[in-house]
Each structure stands twice: as structure tokens, then as C-alpha cells.
Homo-oligomer: A and B are copies of this chain.
């Protein structure tokens, strides 16, 4: 954690820290009264918090918030729902990389049971996103949409979503390589383990997606996400 993300409402520029975040202050930072830490308010400004009261139950911080969070990526990411264990890590990664708009979508190679995972509850998703933002020092929570049906999503919703963006689908078996340092807004689809099936690639290409590869190696989603984002938007 490189910043505490404060998720409750602020009052009078003070904030009460408890639970996981308090444990982190005490165990990792050996926090004591008078110490300052980097903090940010969810969807708001970043700055410092100084401990003015401290016991084993809570820490009271006074806040000095004046910095804007880093700019959001001009990207909408469509990700075939990963297996639950990888989902949690992937949510942290997308939050840490600056993605603000994520669609978890179905695909023929997504196991049906993945959609039953307790890690897909709004609270569980937010927990992982917060960890990613705290790692990266960012405050803006990504929006995560779940779309359990591939065909209606592509036909009824995605056609509008990609308006004004460059729609790309990462696909190993293709001629064209993923663009580097693009100035455009991008909608990027990344398939499941084993890839999208040809029918799914065809549906995406039908509405305007271009299939692009990432080089000669096949990457897992956990490596594909930072690789593609970093090459599209090296910043």
C-alpha cells in the first residue's frame, strides 16, 4: 500500500481509520501520534493525513488534501471473466494501471461456475479495486459492469459503446500487431484462457473491432493486461 484510500465521507478534514487500514498503519508503518501518511479521498483529492489520536481500535487523522489523482486512461476494457482466483488479482491490476471502465463479459471458454463466484459481489469487487488504487496512488474507483451473455451484449450494447473509440481485440492468431502509443480512445477486448472462439472474434469484427496480436508469445491475462495498456498508453 502506497496510500490510504479513505472511502467514508469526510467531515471537518478529519477521518477515522480502523480495520485493515489501521492494521497496516500499526504493523507495517509502526505508526505513532504525529506521523504523516499519504492519503486520498475516494473519487477526490490526494494529500497527507497526520495522526492526532491513536489506540488499538482507531486512528484519527487530520487531512491536507490538494493534489489531483493521476489522469484516467482513455480506455474501456472488456475482459472475459477470469477464474475467481485470478479475478481478484486482475481487479487489483486494472485499478492499479488506471483503467476506469471495465466490462467483465462472457465467452464460450468462460466456465459457467465462474459467474457464481462470491468475488463478483459489489463489495468484493470494490475491495480489490481499493487495494489496486492504494498500490498505485490513485483515488478514482473504476466502474465494473457484469455482462453474462455475449451475443446480446455485443449486438445491443457494444455497438454504441465503441462509438468514437478504436475497438481492438487481442488475439494471438492474427497478422496485425497492437498499436503503440495511440492518441485515440480505445475499447479493448481480451479473451479468456484459450482465447475467444472464432464465432466470438467474428461477432466483434462484424461490428468494427480489429484483431491485433501482442508479439509471438501467448500471454496470460495477468500479463496481457499490463502489457497491452503499457504499449497503448506509455504516457
Q: A interface vs B, CB < 8 Å? A: 2, 70-71, 93, 96-98, 135-138, 177-178, 180-181, 214-220, 222-224, 226-231, 234-235
Contacts and interface: CB of A to CB of B under 8 A. Distances in A.
A123 B200 CA distance: 40
Question: What is the count of identical protomers in the complex?
Answer: 2
Given A230-B228, A230-B230, A177 B235 contact: yes
A136 B219 contact: yes
Nearest to A136: B217
Contact of A231 (B70, B135, B137, B234): B234
B218 A2 contact: yes
A175 to B, nearest CB: 14
Which of A216, A218, A223 neighbours the largest number of chain B CB atoms within 10 Å of its CB? A223
A220 B135 contact: yes
Contacts of A70: 215-217
19 contacts: A71-B216, A96-B217, A96-B220, A96-B223, A97-B217, A97-B223, A136-B217, A137-B216, A137-B217, A177-B234, A177-B235, A214-B230, A215-B234, A222-B222, A226-B226, A226-B230, A227-B227, A227-B230, A228-B230
Contacts of A223: 93, 96-97, 226
Nearest to A179: B234
A137 B219 CA distance: 9
A152 to B, nearest CB: 30
A53 B231 CA distance: 45
Please give me the 5 A-B residue pairs with the lowest Cβ-Cβ distance, nearest first.
Answer: A70-B216, A227-B230, A136-B217, A215-B235, A223-B226
Contacts of A235: 177, 214-216
A138 B216 CA distance: 9
Nearest to A181: B180
Contacts of A227: 97, 226-227, 229-230
Given A138-B217, A231-B231, 8 more contacts: A137-B217, A214-B235, A224-B226, A226-B226, A226-B230, A227-B229, A230-B231, A231-B234
